[in-house]
Amino acid sequence: MQKRYIVRLSESEKSELHEVIKRLNGSSQKVRRAQILLKADAEGPNWTDQLIAEAFNCRPQTVENIRRRLGEHGFEATLNGLKR
């Protein structure tokens, strides 16, 4: 199935995600979002949603939601979560 939202990360975004994972700063959700975004990057590993879901023990719908949020709300809102 063709992906509607394709993740393309800049070098600065990738380095920020690596820092979040390396230092485990932020919530566990933030670290998981960072891991998912790095694996979904089109210029990087470009894993499928199913493969990412299996690797990080979540549902494929979660991966799709993170892709959608990146496309609609941007990098910061995706990484840190939407404000309520």
Per-residue pLDDT tens for 29-51? 999 999 999 999 999 999 999 99
User: Does the residue 41 lie in any domain?
Assistant: yes
User: Does the residue 2 lie in any domain?
Assistant: no
User: Does the residue 72 lie in any domain?
Assistant: yes
> 2 pLDDT exceeds 70?
no
Q: Using alpha carbons only, give the angle 19, 25, 29 rounded to the nearest 5 degrees.
A: 105
pLDDT recorded at residue 18? 96
User: Does the residue 25 lie in any domain?
Assistant: yes
User: Does the residue 1 lie in any domain?
Assistant: no
Write the pLDDT tens digit of every residue in 45-76: 999 999 999 999 999 999 999 999 999 999 99
pTM of the model: 0.92
Domain holding 32, by residue range, is: 11-80
pLDDT recorded at residue 1? 56
User: Does the residue 3 lie in any domain?
Assistant: no
pLDDT recorded at residue 84? 80
Number of domains in the chain: 1
